[in-house]
């Protein structure tokens, strides 16, 4: 389930068939999030009332005062970062070997800049890594911890 949004996003992008697919994928995810918000607040897709609770607060963990609902935009970034972590760690997986052979060559992933002629989807995957600058680089990446990093809920509440 943790990779669902990665593949959902990529499939939405492929259906468009143009180079701007990721931007449209973000739009699709924002639409899905709007449906979730409006369901929670009892409204329609064109919600006219001012909600009583900020969506970012709803997406916080329960121990931080939220409802524990996942922010799908951040969950998707965290899942994509898992793929990036595999590339950075040169995990023994065929597609990771292919990425290194095709794009990264002898460069270090964390310092790598995609070339202009690289695949649009690959460049977008690499761009996600900017959201994780400063996150400790341990041996294993866990999507939930990456999500907590993005949500700012990785510390123990007071």
- pLDDT, tens digit, 9 for 90 and up, residues 65-79: 888 888 888 999 999
CA separation, residue 57 to residues 32, 64, 120 (Å): 18, 9, 33
Describe the crossing of helices 72-88 and 21-40 by its angle, rounded to 10 degrees.
140
Q: To the nearest whole percent, how much of the chain has pLDDT over 70?
A: 75
Mean pLDDT, to the nearest integer, of 19-33? 68
- pLDDT, tens digit, 9 for 90 and up, residues 82-141: 999 999 999 999 999 999 999 999 999 999 999 999 999 999 999 999 999 888 877 789
Q: Residue 10 — pLDDT band, cuts 50, 70, 90?
A: low
pLDDT of residue 49: 65
CA 78 to centroid of chain Cα atoms = 4
Q: What residue segments make up the domains of the chain, in order of their start?
A: 1-158
- Given a cut of 80, whether residue 157 has pLDDT beyond it is no
| Terminal CA-CA length for the chain | 31
């Amino acid at each position: 389930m943790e990779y669902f949004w990665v593949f959902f996003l990529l499939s939405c992008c492929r259906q468009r068939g143009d180079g701007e697919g990721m931007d449209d994928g973000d739009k699709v995810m924002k639409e899905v999030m709007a449906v979730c918000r409006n369901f929670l607040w009892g409204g329609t897709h064109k919600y006219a009332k001012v909600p009583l609770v900020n969506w970012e607060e709803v997406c916080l963990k329960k121990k931080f005062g939220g409802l524990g609902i996942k922010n799908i935009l951040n969950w998707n970034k965290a899942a994509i970062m898992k793929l990036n972590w595999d590339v950075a760690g040169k995990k023994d997986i065929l597609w990771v070997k292919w990425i290194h052979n095709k794009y990264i060559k002898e460069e270090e992933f964390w310092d790598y800049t995609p070339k202009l002629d690289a695949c649009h989807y690959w460049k977008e995957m690499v761009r996600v890594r900017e959201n994780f600058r400063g996150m400790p680089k341990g041996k294993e990446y866990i999507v939930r911890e990456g999500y907590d990093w993005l949500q700012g809920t990785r510390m123990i509440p007071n």
